[in-house]
Structure formats: C-alpha cells, structure tokens
Structure 1
C-alpha cells in the first residue's frame, strides 16, 4: 500500500513539474491594426486546443534590377515554454514547397494540403517561406515567457497595455530611471527616443508600428536595456553599456539600417533578428553628430537578412582630422539568410571597409553560417578612399579572425582583401575552418595545386598591401596555440 501511495505521489509530482515547465501565451492584435490574410497561423501545446494568432502586416523591400519595390509580408509572435506545435496555412493557393529558416536549425516539417506543420521546443525567430517566395513570407517570433513584468502602478514605469497607442508629436522621450513596458498586443504609433539619459529599460512583447522610421533611437545615454520589442530600427550613438536582446528589426524604406552603432562602447546584441532595407548592423566612428571610436561591441546568437547592402558592415565613417580606433568587435553564432547588393563597392556579408583614417583591429567572426544569398560577396576587407562617404582612406585593418565560417550556395561573387598603400595595410587575417559548400579551405589541403594561393580555392582575391593572411584547419590551429 505504501509503495502504491509513493508511486502515485511521484506521478503527481512529475506531472506538476511538467505542467510548470509548459506554457503558451498569445495576444490578439488590437482593433484597428492592419493585418495580413496571406497566412492563418495556429499554435498549441501538444494535445491541447489550437489558438489562432493575429497575423500582422509588415513591409519589406525587394530590389528588382535597380528599382525598389515595397512588398507586404506577415508576422506573428507568441511566448512559450516546453513544446508547441505550429500550423501555418497558406491562404493563397497550394503549398508545393516550403522552407523554415534559418536552415541551420534543421526544423523538420510536414506539408499537409496547404498547411506547413512543425514543432518547437525552444525560442526561435523564424522565416516560413512557401513556394520560394521570400517577400511575402511569414516571420514567426517565438519567445520565451516574460519574467518580472513591471507593475503598471509603479511611478517609474511607463506602461502600455494591449491596444493602439499614439504619442505626442510621434515621439516618446524616456526620462532617466524609467522602464517603458509594451505589453503583448500593444502597438505604439511613434518612436521611442532614449536620449541624454541613464538607467532606462524598454521591454515587453509589444510592437512599434512598421510605419515608424527609426523606431528605437538610443543617443548619448548610459545603462540602457531593450528586450523583446518588434520595431523597424534600433540605433545606438554616443552611448555606453547598452544591451539589446531579442529585438526584431524589420525595415522597408531607404536608409533603413537595422542596428547601427556609432561612437559607442560596450554594446551587446543578443538573440536579435534583423531584416533590413539597408545594412543590418554597422559599427562606425564619428557620424551624425556623435564623436569618437568604438570598443567592445558584440553581436551573438542572432539572425541577419539584408534585402539591401551588408548584413555586417564596419568602419567606413570616422573623423579624418582626429583618427579613431574601432576595436574588440565580436560577431558570434550568427545565421546570415540573405545579402543583395549589385553595387560592387558595397558588397560583403562580413565587410570591413576602413575609411576616414580609422584603424580597425581585433575583430572576431565565429560560428557564422551563411545561406545562399542573392547577390554579393562573402567577405570584403578593404582600406579605401570612398570619396562619396569619406574624406581620407583608413589607417589599417589588423588582427581579424574568421573561425568556423560556412557558406552554402552558388551566388557569391569574388571576395576581396586589399590594402591601400605600404602605410595602410590589411594585416594578420586568420581563417580557421572556413568551409565553402562543405569543403574545408586551408593552407595544407591536399587537392590544392602547389602553384595556387589558398585564397584561390575560396574565391577570395588577396590584393596588394596585405600580409599575414593564413588559412588553417582545427588541428593546425591547435598546434599553433589557438
């Protein structure tokens, strides 16, 4: 009898633990929000009731030849813990093919009639694409549940509950010491300006409407934390100690850079998603009234999709009269879904273009997976004098590590590594475990003709005024002490 009682108690406890670790939170879009009917999206815990998600209209930029075309895409968002099942029904016709990206997540799915069905067991920021259409796709943002939701009655909290919210003059200026909370189901019709303040938070599961340019702008501020918001852009200038976590940036208009960093230090991007109509993320020195170099900038666990220009771009802007340094820049565990740029001067999934007497050093690209992009280069490291944007060439690019970089595809043009003159060189660039279409590229590879440069095997042009460009595999890197 005692054993039976203990057995039943264990079953109850295990059931309670499993229940406590399972959670699904959804929100309805507020009345008046513009939705998109291309998809019907449902989500449920295994065996539970399906919940229909509100599918928001968002806009993206498609470049055809040299012309920009604004296209209507879709977006859903929800929170969960444990495991959920997702059903994405395509309402415009038959599903012949589908993709759930990033491909590196290797999410299995089924196609049943016109519905794509898959499961998730951890938070993901995804693109669901039907019949090869990347411009009318579904952006699916599955978050972990919120922790420590602020009290709406706290005088230091600016609280926006579900609904559409207008702000005076289209701009919410956040005072020091305040927390702005956008609840799930909240849509803010205005920019959030964090300027000349300190100790500020902007958190929640709400949305800054897709029509709002420069949705989040952090300027000359200290100790800023932004988490969970969907917006158009999230720029940081002249600031220190900034963390941007699980923020989604989608833009469609000209100069729609995603997450710029200008003249700032100690900036962390963690788990962000950027699909932008210009560079996804940049690091610059002096620019737009912000002055100084940059140090300790990290982006990790993130997804980048450049409908125009670069996924990652470093170094073109600075102060030629008072030369600056951009250093300790880290890009770790990143999926690059697309890169589209026909202008040869502005290509490169991972691009460092030193201008304005900038010295760029100690840059790390690690565990980066690049899917087959539409048009551009994998890598572009140049010291150049671009008279359109610079008043001088850069001083140098030094100590750059590319570790565990993979590219799968056929559309990449010739990559470039090139200095400017004997005084302005690209030095000490190290490739460890570079894989092109699953082929490991390294100096001692057996199938490289003796008269080839290793860079030829990777279709990387290494030009003049460069030194210390090496390609290693894991074993040779370890033997070399790295």
Structure 2
C-alpha cells in the first residue's frame, strides 16, 4: 500500500509541472514576499543574473547576520536556481574596491571588473562568498541550485496535496505544499509525507519531526529567524535544499535518529549557541552539498546529553563548505555517557568520514577548544575510525588545524574519554593564512590514549607535515603510533 500511494503522489505532482524544461541555460528566480520589501533588504550590493546574452533579472538582496563576536555584522545573501550556465553581475553600491575574492578559492572562478561591478559566469550550481578588499563580514553569499523537476509550480491544489499560500497547509495530507508567501504556525510533520516549499515561500517557524519515518522535505525556500529545527527519534528522513538565515540558535538538531539525508542545506547564523547541523546519538547520516556558516560549530557529532542516549555510527559529510566565525567547523565527541548504575554502558562514535570539504574560516579564542577538526573525547566516549580526506582550509583567524585530545573539563564533562584511535588525515591542505597555532594530540593517562593516527599528505603553507615541529604540530603525553606519509 505504501508504494502505491507514494507512486500516486508522484504522478499527481507531475500533473502540476510544466511539460518540459530547457535542457540548458535555464534560469529560475524567486520573488520575495511583499511584506518584507523594506524590512529585510541589504543595500550593500545590487545583484543581477541572466542566461548568457539574455535579459538581466534583479535579485532581492537579503540582510543576514554573521559573526557573534560583537558587534554582530550585516552581510548579504541572494539565491536562485539554474541549469546550464548563467552570468552574474554584482555591483558594489558603497565605496570603491581594489580586489575581489570569490570563494571557495578552489573553484577558480574567473571574473571581470567594470567600474564598481564584478561580472562572472557560473557553469554549474554552487554556493559562494563574494568578498571585496578582504571584508568577510559584509560579503555577499550567493546560493544556487539546479532547477527542480519535481517541485510543484502551481498554487492550485491537486488530489492528495495540501497547498498553502500564506496559510498553513494541512499536514494530514500525504503531500504538503508551501506556496509563495509568509508562514507562521506549528508545522508538525507526519510519517509518510512529502513536503514541498516554493522558492518564494518564507517560513518563520521550524518544521517539527518527532517519532516519524519516511519523510521527504524538498525546499527552494527560506527559513527566517526560526528556532532550531529538530529531528527526534525518527527514521528515513530527507531534508533537501532549505536556506536558513538569522536563526536565534542553531540550524538543525538531530537526536536518536537513523537514516538521515541532509542535502543542499545553506545556513547563515550569528545567534548564541548557533551550531549548524548538530547530531546526538544518530546513525547512518549523510550530509552533502551544503554551505554552513555559523557562530558556533558547523557540524557536530555527540552522544549522550540531557535525555539523549546512544551511539553515533556511519556518518558521511561530503562536498560541502564550512565557515565557523566562532568555534569549530567540525567538533566530535565531547558529550557522552559516563557510566552510572542506570546507564552502565559507555558510548562510541565510529565510522565517520569527511571528504571534499572547503573550510573558509576558523576562529576560536579558547586554546583548549581550538581546532578546525576537533576530536575531543569526553564522558567515557571512544572515538574511532574517522577519516578526513581531500580537505582545503583557507584561513584560521585564531586556532589550529586539528586538535585530538582526551577531554575532561568541568564545564562539559563528568569523566575523561576512553580513547581516540584509528584517525586518518589524507590530502589535507591549509594555506597558513591567518594566525594559527600548532595542532595538538594528547591523551589523558596510560589507559585513555590517542593512538593510530595517520597524516598522509597533510600540508601547511605548502609544506608537508613529517613529524612534530614548532608552530606546526605538538605531540603530548599518551600518544601512540603516529604515522607520516
């Protein structure tokens, strides 16, 4: 029965789509809700886009908050979808400039300058930062996606679909559609549901997932100023495409859940405790094609905390860009279960892989917690079988490339971690830009070690790490079997 309604929903949605999309050079821009015209705009830039040689289309430049370090700064963000190629025009409205950066640098995007306007062509969808004269706090975030073939294009309901146009859709239906408009309310998602969010929809409340399964969310739209979206005790959930800005806390927290896909998530946050994608005791999670800028950790993997218990296993993070204005791009293992009578088993985090990642920034003022890649095993956690591969780190304002240690801090822990083992860094490069300190590894005692670490083609400022060295790598006590290649 499940397969029948799922197939039927797909057929019904296809009826709402146009007959065909152009194979190449198609552009899709989204109007902003009129109620936001004067309240959410940033006038630092005028941004236009067109198919090559076509008519320029003006975009709405959203004001987004970045960097919790006081004062919080005002940056800009635009978004659109396209297939094929598009030309982008970014005009700087205030003052002149002498240099431009379009990051991540690895994209190698070429541009031309005419007066106060920068012009460049995108050959595929990407998520980028456009910066003038090194100003990373008042930059332009440019988010794009391929045109979705399965997104409804009509605000008219079809059988089996609940549609909203500024009015909360009916979540008792198997297919839920947020059409253009502003939305407030409680959006509690049910099992066996597809949720579609139009690119001209702005939600000011989070979706709620609690004890559900078989849910797919496909979004071209915007979540603005929402409290943290939570996925709790759920299975087989896909979140694809949402943009989050100006959230007061974190972006998304996943708790005791399995089989999660988090794709094309774009988030910019400057709130306190504003972790990006946080995970507690989750298994079989894939994060891909995302851009995460936060004033706390970008991606976190933890175990027990509060009323949460369990292990973390089989996590993949790939093809994404991380930018931590405050704290860490990656933080693993500090929260877990110190065994007690009621909960006697310690916990484990294992089989974790980060690949093809661009890190644009890391800034952490507390030396104990510094690290682009922080594995800090506390509360009897054992962290093992972790791979960081094909990673490019552009700048460390204050911090270090990696920090592997057994943590035991009164602020967070009730016991030290059990160990960190079988960790591989492969093809990891850091430009050396900023004010970095030396990376560190250290254990706690003879029974709680850091061991079996491989540094395979790890470079700082173009030089390969071949052993401990001043300002590059410090090895503390209770570290065993570090290999350099």
**TM-score, length basis structure 2:** 0.88
Q: Distance in 2 between matches of 1:392 and 1:229?
A: 38
How many Å apart are 1:441 and its aligned residue? 2.8
1:480 maps to what in 2?
none
Deviation at 1:21, TM superposition (A): 2.2
Structure 1 counterpart of 2:104: 102
Which of 273, 285, 292 aligns to 1:255? It is 273
CA deviation vs aligned residue, 1:285-336 (integer Å, no higher than 9, x gap): 1123221010001110000000110000000000111310100011000000
Q: What does 1:413-452 align with in structure 2 at a 5 Å threshold?
A: 413-442=437-466
> Contact between 2:437 and 2:471, CA under 8 Å: does it hold in 1?
no
1:203 corresponds in structure 2 to 218
Structure 2 distance, partners of 1:348, 1:432, is: 18
Match of residue 128 from structure 2:
126
Deviations 1:420-456 (CA, angstroms, capped at 9, x unpaired): 11000001000111111112233xxxxxxxxxxx121
**2:23 counterpart of 1:20:** yes
CA distance in 2, matches of 1:90, 1:26: 21
Deviations 1:186-244 (A, max 9, x none): 100111111111111221210000x2231x21111000000110014022111000000
The question of whether the paired residues in 1 share the 8 Å contact of 2:23 and 2:83 is answered with no
SS state at 2:35 partner: coil
Q: Does 1:52 align with 2:55?
A: no
Aligned pair count reads: 436
Verify: 1:460 aligned to 2:478, yes or no.
no
Moved over 4 A (4+): none
Describe the SS at the equivalent of 1:456.
Answer: coil
Q: Is the CA contact (8 Å cut-off) linking 1:234 and 1:249 kept in structure 2?
A: no
Tell me which residue corresponds to 1:335.
358
Query: What CA distance in whole angstroms lies between the structure 2 residues aligned with 1:386 and 1:369?
Result: 30
- Alignment counterpart, residue 308 of structure 1, candidates 300, 322, 326: 326
2:386 equivalent in structure 1: 363
In structure 1, stretches of 5+ residues that fail to align are 1-16, 443-453, 473-482
1:375: which partner in 2? 398
CA positional deviation for 1:90? 0.8
- 1:3 aligns with none
Match of 1:213 in 2: 227
Within 5 Å, which residues of 2 pair with 1:5-404? 20-33=23-36, 34-63=40-69, 68-150=70-152, 152-153=157-158, 154=161, 155-167=173-185, 171-209=186-224, 211-214=225-228, 216-231=229-244, 232=247, 233-321=251-339, 322-404=345-427
Report SS of the residue matched to 2:414: coil
Is contact 1:95-1:111 (8 Å) kept?
no
**Contact 2:389–2:425 (CA<8 Å) still a contact in 1?**
yes
